Chains A and B, each alone.
Chain A
Amino acid sequence: MKKIHIVILILIIAGISGMSFFVRDLTTYETFASAMERKEKFVVIKVKLDKTSPIEYDQLKNPNLTVFYAIDQDGQKSKIVYNNAKPTDIEKSEGIDLNGYMREGHFECTKLQMKCPSKYKDDMQAAQKNLPGASTNIEYK
């Protein structure tokens, strides 16, 4: 065996062990119900903001606490506690990926990723308001 083969072998072993750390750290997309069964485990849940409940954020009392409600893909509603400033435009989000832990009675979100309506549609709707005599429902070709 050539030396370079030994080196390649070592690198491959290192690569595989490195990647196995990565794979072990991967988590899964869950719902509130399935996350309940894996409490204390970091999970990701796809939700929509519950627009009927208010978003609580008072930066005078605590700039690092946002509380809101969200509905998962099964239609289940849960309280979400996010220990950070209220994300800009969360009211307009179409969907949210919540990252965090299911706790007793609420979901503790450590990181969230919002899916906002695409800029394109957004522009169209915004522009719609500025166009005189426009109807309220636009269709996109």
Chain B
Amino acid sequence: MDFIGENLLPGRLGHFFIILSLVSSIAASFTYFKSTQKRLTDDGRQWKRLARIFFITEAVSVFAIFGIIYYIVSSHLFEYKYAWQHSSITLEPKYLLSAIWEGQEGSFLLWSIWHCVLGLIVIRKEKEWEAPVMAVLSFVQFCLATMILGLKLGSLKIGSNPFVLLRNEMDAPIFSRPDYLSLIKDGNDLNPLLQNYWMVIHPPVLFLGFASTVIPFAFAIGGLWTKDLKGWTKRALPWSLFSAGVLSLGIMMGAAWAYESLTFGGYWAWDPVENASLVPWLVLVAGIHTLLIYNHTGHSLRPTYLFFILSFLLVLYSTYLTRSGDLQDTSVHAFTDLGMNWQLRTFLFLLVIPSFILFFKRYKHIPYIAKEEETSSREFWMFVGALVLLLSAASIILMTSVPVFNKLVSFFAGKDTEVFTPLAFGEDTEFTYNRIQIFVAIIVGLLTGFGMYLRYKSTGKSNLKRLLWPSVVALVVASLILVFGDVNYREHGIGYLGAIFLAIVASVFGVIANASYIWIGMKGSMKRSGGALAHLGFGFMLVGILISSSKKEVISHNTSGVFINFGEGAKEKPGENLTLIKGIRNDMGNYWVTYERDSAHPEKPLWFYHVRFESKNGKDNFVLTPNAFVNYKGNEGLMANPDARHYWDHDIFTYITSLPDPEKNKDTASFVARTASIGDTIFYSNGFAVLADLANHKNIPGVGLGSQDSVTVASLKVYAKTGSTYDLEPVLINKGGQLFAEPDTVNAESLVVRIQKVSGKKVELGLKESNSVMQYITLKAYKFPFINILWIGTILMVLGFIISMMRRIETNRLSLKKI
């Protein structure tokens, strides 16, 4: 059958480029492999020339695939499933990119694109190491290309193709009509929670971080493979610094996104997806330190190999964890299962097994120094630090892998056996992690502080003396913070509070020691201070994390008076949700809060709730507008986005947790008639109203009322039990014998009053008490202190990585010139 209106050309081109990228990446890996085997010969150079052509073809294809997807999504070609599933006509242009990487296929592609960019730089910059590094990179590219292949061999599915047509993926009668496309007016849109600027910039940065870990890995593998076991170390250093810097930025952008626009109540929740990005970073940073040790002293080359290999393999493991659906029980934002688990596992094993075989085969040949490091040497303590980071990473990844462990054991033990009950996390997941990582923070905080003052090989007393003043200052500052900052987090006992105190002292020391080192050690030369700056930033991050999490406060504790009963056997923990009735001022922590009004997005079912915060001391007065999508595209219910007010030392942060259920609040109440004359009192369930005045206007020209028409206005004063008074003015219009009542409402009292009949000085009023007139929202609000220290720390640390990278690139260039 011929279908009308389909634009099939982009899809065909897309399929072509997918095949081309697959073929050229396997060809590039093979030719680079050959070139490496025959390096330093003319044959090897021939192979390399060929390999470059293949790799450039691969890069062009990947860019073309991305370009075509962008075209399909931006031209709203809904015959393609990807466009239909992830975008819509009203989607703002900036979110078209987000729509691409919302899906698994798009995110694999993003990863692949960065590999291409990095590969092109490697080809340009790395002369003798190009072939082995690119052989590894091209092979990884091949594996990624299979992820978007979309081939079905019987029941086996290889990859998920982004260019499939909607009508081939879904069985519905409309697809038997040639003009089906004219019936599909719009796509399903990007998940509203992802319609956020962080979703535009965070994934590319994070994926660049992930993608770049392949370069240190490829250098290490190349070293093992070519038996040139130490030639790569200087070349790999800037790459690994780049990778660590970008990865830190990506991870922290994710944290900022979680903090600013998701409703997790914080920037870090030890969610498996977050852990999966942190663990490779920890191992990579450990690797950078051991690599520095090696470049300066000749120690620690073996662990460097291990760390660089591990950090990339952990990226793959994380990919498997977050995309396989195995984590769905424990994570809030893992991807859904696309039926590609076996393929992800194969990808993982294809790289894990050969890497480790190679590593252990060559292990004995990797040079090492038998003589022990001096205790006073910088390398000794750097190595200790690297071990602590590795241990921290190991504990995090083991804990995150509990669902995988369950799966493995039940696979071998059989399902539903008595032998094994699947394990689950205990009551407080965050504490489970924090309890261990707080010790990592203490050790690492101290090490980053004094490590910089030590010298490689051995440190003299005069060097150690320079530590005196920074330590004194740090102790004073830390004590001041502890005393005046009122760090008093007792939820987990006094021992844990003690650990927090120690960690704050250690990280303050890290900050101050590194800041002064930039002057004492480096004489203020920023060019050489990359390391100190990165450590300084890291120290700031630790301080920010410790203070903000131990002093985070829920301010929406239920004090509204609407409810005080903790019944049903609940623990006496006051609830964190607070219901605000429109127009009523509520007591919340140090603030009076009022839900004033709401407004709607012009095109989408997105509602903004204006909540006024007035501090009780009268110094502060502002409006926060948390918003929520209500019943969006079949997603019934509410998708909330928080809003925050930023101060230099704290943030006030709030989001909607619940809205009235329209089903429940159907207006079932009816008006009850009461007759009254001026001065009479009418009672309702929560108070009474006095009819203060009754005015009858006749013959009002200019508003379309004739001589026989009249308008009656009743003025009522409502005295509520709560002590509040309200004025009501219901109106009755008599136009041409027809009566039109305009009721008036006291929202706070759920009271509606209308005039039903007028007879002389008497009036018949209708009273209705109904919850449906009551407008309310339920929200949570937090106070986060000193969150800015964390963000400043992040920026400083990333700057530190960049400065170090620039400096290492320059020294590499200078040393090349010397030769």
Interface residues of A (CB under 8 A from B): 2-4, 7-8, 11, 14-15, 18-19, 21-22, 25-30, 42-44, 57, 59-65, 67, 81, 83-86, 88-89, 91-92, 97, 99, 103-104, 106, 108, 110-111, 113, 115, 118-120, 122-135, 138-141
Cβ contact within 8 Å between A60 and B562 = yes
By a CB distance below 8 angstroms, the chain B residues around A103 are 569
In Å, the complex CA distance between A29 and B579 comes to 34
Cβ contact within 8 Å between A30 and B634 = no
In Å, the complex CA distance between A128 and B633 comes to 12
A/B interface sample: 20 pairs, CB < 8 A: A18-B395, A18-B436, A19-B395, A27-B424, A27-B425, A28-B422, A28-B423, A60-B771, A60-B774, A60-B776, A61-B562, A63-B575, A64-B574, A84-B576, A85-B657, A88-B640, A103-B569, A126-B633, A126-B635, A131-B174
Cβ contact within 8 Å between B427 and A15 = no
By a CB distance below 8 angstroms, the chain A residues around B337 are 118
Partner of A119, one of B191, B570, B575: B191
Cβ contact within 8 Å between B399 and A29 = no
Could you tell me the distance in whole angstroms from the C-beta of B199 to the nearest C-beta in chain A?
Answer: 15
By a CB distance below 8 angstroms, the chain A residues around B188 are 123, 126-127
Could you say which of A43, A59, A67, A120 has the most chain B C-beta atoms within 10 Å of its C-beta?
A59
Partner of A62, one of B439, B563, B638, B774: B563
In Å, the complex CA distance between A107 and B290 comes to 51
Given A2-B372, A25-B427, 16 other A-B contacts at CB below 8 A? A3-B380, A4-B384, A21-B435, A26-B402, A27-B425, A60-B562, A62-B558, A64-B575, A65-B567, A65-B568, A83-B570, A92-B636, A111-B427, A126-B634, A127-B634, A134-B174
Cβ contact within 8 Å between A138 and B635 = no
Cβ contact within 8 Å between B336 and A4 = no
Residue-wise, chain B 142-171 has the 8 Å CB interface mask toward A (1 for contact) of 000000000000000000000000001111
Cβ contact within 8 Å between B328 and A15 = no
Cβ contact within 8 Å between B576 and A64 = yes
Could you tell me the distance in whole angstroms from the C-beta of A16 to the nearest C-beta in chain B?
Answer: 10
Is the C-beta of B737 less than 8 angstroms from some C-beta in chain A?
no
The residue of chain A having its C-beta at the shortest distance from the C-beta of B424 within the complex is A44
Could you tell me the distance in whole angstroms from the C-beta of A57 to the nearest C-beta in chain B?
Answer: 7
Evaluate whether A85 and B388 lie within 8 angstroms (CB atoms) in the complex, with A15-B395, A62-B565 already known: no
The residue of chain A having its C-beta at the shortest distance from the C-beta of B331 within the complex is A113
Is the C-beta of B460 less than 8 angstroms from some C-beta in chain A?
no
In Å, the complex CA distance between A140 and B573 comes to 46
Could you tell me the distance in whole angstroms from the C-beta of A59 to the nearest C-beta in chain B?
Answer: 4
Cβ contact within 8 Å between B399 and A14 = no
The residue of chain B having its C-beta at the shortest distance from the C-beta of A73 within the complex is B416
Cβ contact within 8 Å between A4 and B383 = yes
Cβ contact within 8 Å between B395 and A65 = no
By a CB distance below 8 angstroms, the chain B residues around A97 are 329, 424
Evaluate whether A59 and B658 lie within 8 angstroms (CB atoms) in the complex, with A22-B436, A65-B575 already known: yes
By a CB distance below 8 angstroms, the chain A residues around B168 are 141
In Å, the complex CA distance between A130 and B84 comes to 13
In Å, the complex CA distance between A63 and B658 comes to 8
By a CB distance below 8 angstroms, the chain B residues around A65 are 567-568, 570, 575
Cβ contact within 8 Å between B579 and A4 = no
In Å, the complex CA distance between A80 and B234 comes to 61
The residue of chain B having its C-beta at the shortest distance from the C-beta of A125 within the complex is B634
Cβ contact within 8 Å between A89 and B563 = no
Could you tell me the distance in whole angstroms from the C-beta of A21 to the nearest C-beta in chain B?
Answer: 7
For chain B, residues 360 to 412, give those with C-beta under 8 angstroms from any C-beta of chain A: 372-373, 375, 380, 383-384, 387-388, 391, 394-395, 398-399, 402
Evaluate whether A63 and B778 lie within 8 angstroms (CB atoms) in the complex, with A22-B432, A81-B570 already known: yes
Cβ contact within 8 Å between A29 and B172 = no
Could you say which of B372, B388, B657 has the most chain A C-beta atoms within 10 Å of its C-beta?
B657
For chain B, residues 659 to 684, give those with C-beta under 8 angstroms from any C-beta of chain A: 660-661
Partner of A28, one of B330, B424, B568, B578: B424
Is the C-beta of B756 less than 8 angstroms from some C-beta in chain A?
no
The residue of chain A having its C-beta at the shortest distance from the C-beta of B658 within the complex is A85
Could you say which of A64, A91, A125, A138 has the most chain B C-beta atoms within 10 Å of its C-beta?
A64
Size bracket, chain B contacts: 35 or more
In Å, the complex CA distance between A84 and B657 comes to 9
By a CB distance below 8 angstroms, the chain A residues around B771 are 60
Cβ contact within 8 Å between A134 and B172 = yes
By a CB distance below 8 angstroms, the chain B residues around A8 are 387
Is the C-beta of B426 less than 8 angstroms from some C-beta in chain A?
yes
Cβ contact within 8 Å between A120 and B578 = no
Cβ contact within 8 Å between A89 and B399 = no
Could you say which of A14, A123, A134, A141 has the most chain B C-beta atoms within 10 Å of its C-beta?
A123
A-B complex: 6 closest residue pairs judged by Cβ atoms = A64-B575, A126-B634, A25-B426, A44-B424, A63-B577, A85-B657
By a CB distance below 8 angstroms, the chain A residues around B571 are 83, 108
Cβ contact within 8 Å between B172 and A15 = no
The residue of chain B having its C-beta at the shortest distance from the C-beta of A5 within the complex is B372
The residue of chain B having its C-beta at the shortest distance from the C-beta of A46 within the complex is B329
Is the C-beta of B221 less than 8 angstroms from some C-beta in chain A?
no
The residue of chain B having its C-beta at the shortest distance from the C-beta of A43 within the complex is B424
Evaluate whether A113 and B329 lie within 8 angstroms (CB atoms) in the complex, with A119-B191, A122-B634 already known: yes
In Å, the complex CA distance between A42 and B639 comes to 30
For chain B, residues 575 to 617, give those with C-beta under 8 angstroms from any C-beta of chain A: 575-579, 581
Residue-wise, chain B 546-577 has the 8 Å CB interface mask toward A (1 for contact) of 00000000000010001101011111011111
In Å, the complex CA distance between A118 and B576 comes to 29
Evaluate whether A26 and B373 lie within 8 angstroms (CB atoms) in the complex, with A131-B174, A135-B172 already known: no
In Å, the complex CA distance between A100 and B762 comes to 61
Cβ contact within 8 Å between A141 and B169 = yes
Is the C-beta of B421 less than 8 angstroms from some C-beta in chain A?
yes
Cβ contact within 8 Å between A89 and B577 = no
Could you tell me the distance in whole angstroms from the C-beta of A96 to the nearest C-beta in chain B?
Answer: 11
In Å, the complex CA distance between A7 and B382 comes to 12
Is the C-beta of B184 less than 8 angstroms from some C-beta in chain A?
yes
Cβ contact within 8 Å between A106 and B569 = yes
The residue of chain A having its C-beta at the shortest distance from the C-beta of B657 within the complex is A85
Cβ contact within 8 Å between B558 and A128 = no
By a CB distance below 8 angstroms, the chain B residues around A7 are 384, 387
By a CB distance below 8 angstroms, the chain A residues around B174 are 131-134
By a CB distance below 8 angstroms, the chain A residues around B191 are 119
Could you tell me the distance in whole angstroms from the C-beta of B719 to the nearest C-beta in chain A?
Answer: 22
By a CB distance below 8 angstroms, the chain A residues around B576 are 64, 84
In Å, the complex CA distance between A125 and B634 comes to 8
Evaluate whether A108 and B569 lie within 8 angstroms (CB atoms) in the complex, with A14-B439, A63-B778, A129-B634 already known: yes
Is the C-beta of B21 less than 8 angstroms from some C-beta in chain A?
no
In Å, the complex CA distance between A81 and B568 comes to 7
The residue of chain B having its C-beta at the shortest distance from the C-beta of A25 within the complex is B426
Cβ contact within 8 Å between A131 and B183 = yes
By a CB distance below 8 angstroms, the chain A residues around B394 are 15
Is the C-beta of B85 less than 8 angstroms from some C-beta in chain A?
yes
By a CB distance below 8 angstroms, the chain B residues around A133 are 173-174
Evaluate whether A59 and B776 lie within 8 angstroms (CB atoms) in the complex, with A123-B188, A138-B171 already known: yes
Cβ contact within 8 Å between B328 and A115 = yes
Is the C-beta of B637 less than 8 angstroms from some C-beta in chain A?
yes
Could you tell me the distance in whole angstroms from the C-beta of B454 to the nearest C-beta in chain A?
Answer: 15
Partner of B398, one of A19, A83, A104: A19
Evaluate whether A88 and B637 lie within 8 angstroms (CB atoms) in the complex, with A18-B395, A22-B436 already known: yes
In Å, the complex CA distance between A15 and B173 comes to 60
In Å, the complex CA distance between A11 and B385 comes to 11
By a CB distance below 8 angstroms, the chain B residues around A25 are 425-427, 432
For chain B, residues 691 to 717, give those with C-beta under 8 angstroms from any C-beta of chain A: none
